[in-house]
Amino acid sequence: MIETEKAAAVKTKYRGLSWMERIGYGFGDMSYNIIFQFVNAYLLFYYTDVGGIKPAVIAALFLIVRVLDAIFDPIMGVILDKTNTRWGKARPYLLWVAFPFALFTFLCFTTPHFGETGNMVYAYITYILLGMSFSMQTIPVNSLTGRMTNSVEERTVLTTTRMILVYIGILLSISCATPLADLIGGKDQAFGFQMTALIYAAVSIALNL
């Protein structure tokens, strides 16, 4: 009886994952990489050429956000380890942070017309919040590989599926952004990139959920 229970426990511990679970996990990683690559490729251009913010100001902003990320990431890891809910450790962040992450993406590509100083402050606030919400997405997603299965073979398949979907997301994110912005906004680049960010944000939420 005891041996049977042990065997059942081991079987559960090392169970294989369905393709629905593998693809679902890949979608979670794909969801924030679509945003991440879009922001990396176009936000500097948007801030300087569309928003009219001085490049030196934006360079300082990007540096500050990288430093804050280095501080916040381990803090988020500790918070994740201490999280215990009926939905598990990682899932609450995937559910709750998907919306603010998408919102801050949209706000980063929105020019409020507060004047030079106001626009600079707005850019700092929204981009810092985007960086924090990004960490609150990525760290829980990255922790799921070890939580979903203890099988080395299954982890390999899971990671491979995830990376294939991530690269598809990166390709679509980079290649579609400019055509979408031009199609929607025409000569109005501000509106074009704002609506493109909104589309990407909506896609990110859908993939995440």
64-122 pLDDT, tens digit per residue, is 988 998 899 889 888 888 888 888 888 888 888 889 999 999 999 998 888 888 888 99
**Residue 200 amino acid letter:** Y
Q: Which of 30, 36, 37 is nearest to 169 (CA)?
A: 30
Q: How confident is the model at residue 26 (pLDDT cuts 50, 70, 90)?
A: confident
DSSP secondary structure letters along 160-206:
HHHHHHHHHHHHHHHHHHHHHHHHHHTT-HHHHHHHHHHHHHHHHHH
N-term to C-term CA, the chain: 41
Higher pLDDT, 145 or 162: 162
To the nearest whole number, what is the mean pLDDT of the chain? 86
Contacts of 111-119 with CB under 8 Å at 24 or more apart are: 111/50, 111/51, 111/190, 111/194, 116/52, 116/53, 119/51, 119/52, 119/53
Q: Say what percent of the chain tops pLDDT 90.
A: 34
Q: How confident is the model at residue 15 (pLDDT cuts 50, 70, 90)?
A: low
Domains of the chain: 26-208 (1.20.1250.20)
Q: How far apart are CA 162 and CA 144, in angstroms?
A: 11
Higher pLDDT, 2 or 82: 82
- Do 80 and 143 contact (CB within 8 A), yes or no? yes
Mean pLDDT of the region 32-44: 91
**DSSP code of residue 15:** P
Residue 36 buriedness (CB in 10 A; 0-12 / 13-18 / 19+): buried
Q: How confident is the model at residue 12 (pLDDT cuts 50, 70, 90)?
A: very low
